[in-house]
Amino acid sequence: MIDVTDKVAIVTGGASGMGQICARRLAGRGAKVAIFDVNEQGLEDTAAESDNITAFHCDIADLKDVQAKVAKVNAALGQVELLVHAAALMPSHQLVDHTHEDMERLFRINYFGTTYMIRAVLPAMMARGEGRIVAFGSIAGIALVPKMGAYCATKAAVNAYVEVLQNEIRGSGVRAHLICPPAVNTPLVDQTIETDTPGSIIQAKKSGRLADPEKMIDAIEKGIRKNKDIIYPPGAKLLYLWRALLPKLWWKTVMTFEK
């Protein structure tokens, strides 16, 4: 990661998974870290690990809550200089069974949560001519799988939003990075497994082939140091190319896990 000493950072999804790893690392490097999450116990436990971590209960699907909590961070810690947006939900359902209400909620969290968080910090960053945004999209927005149609759609939307943003703000002094990881062994995958999960993910979990979250963050930090716009951690680029170049083979392969 870049030098973050004394910088103010917000990490969403900071109570677990890759968000928590990012928060720990940033705090260990001297950043003043605000973690946003709805997991009260996870917030409390993570904040207790370091004096540099402050917990804020925030529902990223609620625009007013996002704006209010970002204002509290600005008042308590200072102007936000880094946003790491990792919060998301990843339930699995066949599209014929996935209710409209649940899909709308998923979009509010995964897609609109992304836009709410970015828009809450971006204007001030651009006014100062500096700042950095690290937003987690997903390779799932490109390499589509059955039973995750709604999730894939939300991440395709996030991928598109952040890539367009990168080019619209280029030259402003603010950098935005899009992260497209593969399936990672975190509580987010557990959400999928607890619902109607794709067979490919079940098999990956059983065989230990899910990506290691610490190694994923290592790769993301390396990409940020190189100022890459889009960062594909190990395993993700292969899925991207497979889906792009051999779409029929891709679908034939992923559907074999559903038999």
- What residues act catalytically? 151
Question: Residue 155 region, left (φ>0) first, then alpha (ψ -120 to 50), else beta?
Answer: alpha
Residue 134 near residue 85, CB atoms below 8 Å: yes
